[in-house]
Structure 1
């Protein structure tokens, strides 16, 4: 479900030149995942496959959407997932980008 819409993004000067109709005021986790996954596949996954470590720093909703995808979490269980603030989640992947280890740092 899409959460309640927030105030107008047009009040932020970064968006003054953008048509307000193009700026979302709310986004569901599913919508976030649809927006995030093309970037993940094109930029992050391609670098991981090339053997390059990646650091991702993002908003909690974006991280939840990525974790849902990486860990293959279903729509019911994702509701229980809490992403810790200021703690790194470190994944080790095999060559097919399946998770082989996960560690949360303190």
Structure 2
């Protein structure tokens, strides 16, 4: 892959201890597991292989994303790259589901209800956020802080979370609420978008770090 200007790269954090235990995480702040560290290193190596360089990186206020980004930048020899941290990129808030094992949640409510809360656009878990509510903070942040940088021919890296990234993917790819239900982003998965001079997306590539 030949890197160009106006490139946006999205990376989901490596496996966290909550991922390992199949827990709803949301605003919880677990660290990476050893596997998560290895996944982050592999993502950094893959980005290096692809020849990608960046002017700026963004991440959330949660440890698992920040540590993943730090590991990636170390692999890229970009440890001094400017990084902006903002809670707008935090994972969606899972409310009463936070900290529960997903199988246990299905027993407490129902598999169908839990699936609606996890994957659909509008469903709101008790005390938490829907994907639509997550998008209401991630998309304006993208438009305010990132879109203009892409039009200024910068290459930007975002390391964040499964659902905060899903909300951005929905916006970037103009996906319907129905289409986003089946769109999943794996830990350390890399999504690469390039944009034309008019601002429209010109290409998209999904890359697994391993």
TM-score tier (shorter): 0.7 to 0.9
| Residues 30, 65 of structure 1: 8 Å contact kept | yes
- Once the two structures are superposed, the pairs formed by residues 22-61 of structure 1 within 5 Å of their partners are 25-61=127-163
Work out the CA distance in 1 between the residues paired with 2:206 and 2:151. Answer: 22
TM-score, length-scaled by structure 2:
0.39
> Alpha-carbon deviations, 1:6-40, whole Å to 9, x = none?
xxxxxxxxxxxxxxxxxxx4111111111111110
Deviation at 1:105, TM superposition (A): 1.7
How many pairs align? 87
For residues 58-69 of structure 1, the aligned pairs below 5 Å read 58-69=160-171
8 Å CA contact 1:36–1:62 kept in 2: the answer is: yes
**More strand as a share of residues:** 2
Instruction: Supply the distance in 2 between the matched residues of 1:94 and 1:42 (Cα, whole angstroms).
Output: 18
Partner of 1:103: 205
- How far 1:68 moved relative to its partner? 0.2
- C-alpha RMSD over aligned residues: 1.3
CA contact (8 A) 1:32 1:65 kept: yes
Q: Where does structure 1 differ by over 2 angstroms across 4 or more consecutive aligned residues? A: 1-5
Deviations 1:42-98 (A, max 9, x none): 111011011111101111110000000000000111101011221211111112332
The match for 1:82 among 184, 204, 210 is: 184
Q: Is contact 1:2–1:26 with CA below 8 Å preserved after alignment?
A: no
